[in-house]
A and B are shown apart, each in its own frame.
Chain A
Amino acid sequence: MSFFGFDPTGPPNSRGKNGGEDNEVYDFENTYDGLGEIEEDDAFNDETFNTNVNEIKKDYDFGQGSNTKQQYQQASIPAPTSISYAQAAVSGPVNDDEFMQDLWGSSNTPSLQQEDSKQERKILSLEEIEAQLTAIDQGQQQQQQFPPQLYGIPGMIPPPPQFGGYMMPGFMPPQYGFPAGMIPQQIPIQQQQQQNNQPPQQEQPLPQEQVQPQPEIKQEAEESVLVEVNPASIVSPKQTAPKPVTHKVDLSNFPVLGSKEAVQQQQLHQHQLQLQAQLNEQQQQQQQQQHSHHHHHHRQPSVELTPEQQEKAARRQEKVSRIMKYSGIMNPKDKDFVTRFQLSQIVTDDPYNEDFYAQVFKVIHPKVNGVPPSSNQSGSVASGGESQQNNSIAQAYLDHSGHRLGGRYKRADVALQRMQQQVQKAVTVAKERPKLTQFAKEGALGKISFSSGKKPRQQLEIISKAAERQKEQNETKKKEGTKRYSKKDILSILENIISELMNVESESRTSTEVDTTKLWESLKVLKQPSSSGDEESEVNPFIQCLNYNKMLKILSRLFKFLTREQILTITTLIMSNLENLSVIKYGSYTTYSDNKIPEKINKLVEAYSLTFTKILMNSVLDFKFNEISGLLYILNGHNNSAFISTTKIGLSILTTLLSRAELIIGEGQISATDLSEWSSCYDELFTSLESRIAAIFPPNFDKIDDGSSKENYIWQFLATLSLGGKLSHQRIIVDEVRDEIFSVMNRVKSIDNSDLQNLYKKQNLLNNLNMYLVVMGLVADENEIKELQQ
């Protein structure tokens, strides 16, 4: 059978280039290759087919019309349309229980009734069918009582096979969302129950054949057409009386009713009988009304049938049987029910939970369809702003998650720009302080003349504190009571943090006071103390979590719910564990024999610059001066600062702390004790860095540095370090990085001014360099380095 309605044995349109191919017949069985077997394991199969998959063949015949196949040689005629959904919905009951009841109990029966009458009288016009249905609905609403004696009305024949046998079990596919519990598991038993439930009013015994699908029934129907002269006389009341009941037995096998209590069924059953009675009567009335009409059409052929007329009648019969084959399978209310059911699946009371992704997505990416989303990502906040008014759900999510604020890539720049701004501000503040002596300026680059030749970079061994400690620890015994965390443990802790965060976020949507205790506990910041150099699996779990991208992504959301003290605790933990972070531990070119950082670590570095760096910078703003010097002290004490400074993230952490401290100093509110504490802190740091400052420039820096703000982090660091230092410090720094300064100058000179791009790059390189030089009162242009003019 052809699923798409065209002749599968005919040649497909696309062929025909080669005449020889025309005889080729595609084997459509191939189309199913691989599908049949796999579907056996589809969890929905039972619901879909209501039977064991093995019993299902591929050659479905939905109408069970194989015995009439050869008759279908006429061009297809349009299937009869029925009442529109809207009409059905209007006429249908409002109450759902009621709806269900009369859907499966009574209103379905009229459709069968209609089917029957159609078979007898062959053709009812659409209007007539509609009139019947309307009448039925009215009848239902009136709820009149009719004596059961009215049962044996004429005009009924046994149901066509599709209703008795095939259709019922598989008819209403639970695929359309019936809850699993309502699916009938044991149809035979229910059938029996139904038969037991048959009301006492029913006097006639139920002929067995009427329950079973009958192969001859089709034929019978055809006969009935030919003999149809007087519909009322065809079928004896005796035969027809039980028939509606038969229907009901089958009907109540519907999944929906299958789970109902027997009592309910009984009640329903009675209800059905009553309705059935009304309907029968109405039917009768209508038949009478329409009698003349039918005479007109059908009397004639039966009186005197020419061969042509017979053929015509046969054709007509074919048409009718084709129409009927499917026409009664679902009545308008069934369809309406399915539509409503489908809608109820889609429409939900709780879109925030049930349709979360789509709801929020619509707001975040308002015009994603057709437009490349990348183009509107950066503008998502602005453009989303209007539509957000209508969608409080998504708005709430956005408020709390800080999701993609300003777009992912833009945000990275913002973080880096802020760092630069902070450094520049620190520089400006410092400039306002008493100026360095003229001597200092002269001294700063005083040695240029005799050491402009490029020396090979000193190869200093820079070992992280962690690495040192690891060497020592090989002998020392393990600490007691230390937990070792597997990767799975960490991922579990991490997901737990995220869950708690999401809980807190959704709680904060409804109340202003949110309990964040559980969230704080889930972080396990105080769970296990550790410091740089501890064995990887024994490091504090929070620190270990920071090695995962998803932790970095939620940091800003997380920090919103933490107090200043909690953030300070976390920052302190991080400072004492810097070398335990993968981004530091594996982030220094010095640990690789080819001086190349693996791609994976570079990605992590990138992720840190997008998230961690920015959050740290924000957090540090809230810290007091002595807290910052404390953090620097811890950093320097637990880690090898020289090693830290060879990593991009480590260097930016140092820059953040130093520049913030300088800004606070610039405000001039710092006590002398704090200041002296700070300068001893600085001295310690400087001692660690001294003689290794040049190492902060990765090899081939001149090739990497494109002058963008992405690569100026080293100059920013040098600027801040110089700011905090005395003249002696500054001299040492200049001395150590002089080669790099001149390397930049040489590059600037070598860039030709031919195109704008080059000019731009040149200027950027100079700007970056000048950020540092300005601290010492110097400025570089494309030709030389000279004293800054005031």
Chain B
Amino acid sequence: MLFFSFFKTLVDQEVTVELKNDMEIKGTLKSVDQFLNLKLDNITCLNSAQYPYLNAVKNLFIRGSTVRYVHMNPNSVDCTLLQDASRREAMVQAGK
């Protein structure tokens, strides 16, 4: 649940999602679920020359499993907290 929790803090922030088919989609993160499926608003496809299909699309849903990377503004991440949260999650997992 760590990254579900993590992405919740990025809602309404601009992110760039790179899919496994190399498509890069920039947009405002509107929602996320525990599978890290993402909903983006006001999207632009960064490599739209390659993928013109999305030119007319303003918002979309991305199945989590097709995501390769999500790039985000470093200022919206609290690294110390994220590290602690990772350790916490690892401890919980180990305790199971």
Binding site for B on A (CB under 8 A): 4, 6, 12-15, 26, 28, 30-35, 38-39, 42, 44, 175, 177, 342, 345-346, 348, 353-362, 364-365, 368-370, 372-374, 401, 403-404, 495, 498-499, 502, 550, 553
Contacts and interface: CB of A to CB of B under 8 A. Distances in A.
17 contacts: A12-B52, A13-B55, A14-B52, A14-B55, A32-B21, A35-B20, A35-B21, A35-B66, A177-B34, A345-B33, A355-B1, A355-B5, A361-B81, A364-B78, A404-B78, A499-B91, A502-B91
A401 B78 contact: no
B85 to A, nearest CB: 4
A368 B92 CA distance: 28
Nearest to A350: B92
B43 to A, nearest CB: 13
Contact of B88 (A4, A31, A502): A502
A401 B91 contact: no
A33 B1 CA distance: 30
Given A38-B65, A360-B81, 11 more contacts: A26-B53, A28-B53, A34-B20, A34-B21, A38-B20, A39-B66, A357-B5, A360-B85, A361-B81, A362-B9, A553-B80
B92 A374 contact: no
B69 interface: no
Contacts of A42: 65
B87 A345 contact: no
A23 to B, nearest CB: 15
A172 to B, nearest CB: 15
Contact of B12 (A14, A30, A370): A370
B31 to A, nearest CB: 11
Nearest to A45: B65
A38 B92 CA distance: 30
Contacts of A357: 2, 5-6, 9, 81-82, 85
Interface string B74-96: 01101011111101110110000
Nearest to A355: B5
Contacts of A26: 52-53
- Please indicate which of the listed interface residues B2, B20, B66, B84 has the most CB atoms of chain A within 10 Å of its own CB: B84
Nearest to B73: A373
Contacts of A175: 35
A372 B65 CA distance: 30
A interface: dominant SS: helix
Contact of A374 (B8, B75, B81): B75
Given A34-B20, A34-B22, A35-B20, A498 B87 contact: yes
B13 interface: yes
A502 B87 contact: yes
B53 A31 contact: yes
Given A357-B6, A499-B87, A502-B87, A44 B12 contact: no
B9 to A, nearest CB: 5
B19 interface: yes
Contacts of B20: 34-35, 38
Contacts of B6: 357-358
B30 to A, nearest CB: 12
B53 A33 contact: no
A593 B34 CA distance: 55
B12 A358 contact: no
A184 to B, nearest CB: 20
6 nearest CB pairs, A to B: A34-B21, A14-B55, A357-B85, A358-B5, A357-B5, A42-B65
Nearest to B19: A35
Given A34-B20, A502-B91, A403 B80 contact: yes
B46 to A, nearest CB: 15
Contacts of A44: 35, 65
Interface in B25-48: 33-35
B5 A373 contact: no
A346 B8 CA distance: 11
A39 B63 CA distance: 11
B92 A353 contact: yes
Contacts of B65: 38-39, 42, 44
Nearest to A401: B84
A345 B35 CA distance: 11
A361 B78 contact: yes
B34 A353 contact: no
Contacts of A35: 19-21, 66
A370 B51 CA distance: 29
A341 to B, nearest CB: 11
Nearest to B94: A499
Contacts of A30: 51
Given A35-B19, A44-B35, A499-B91, A373 B81 contact: no
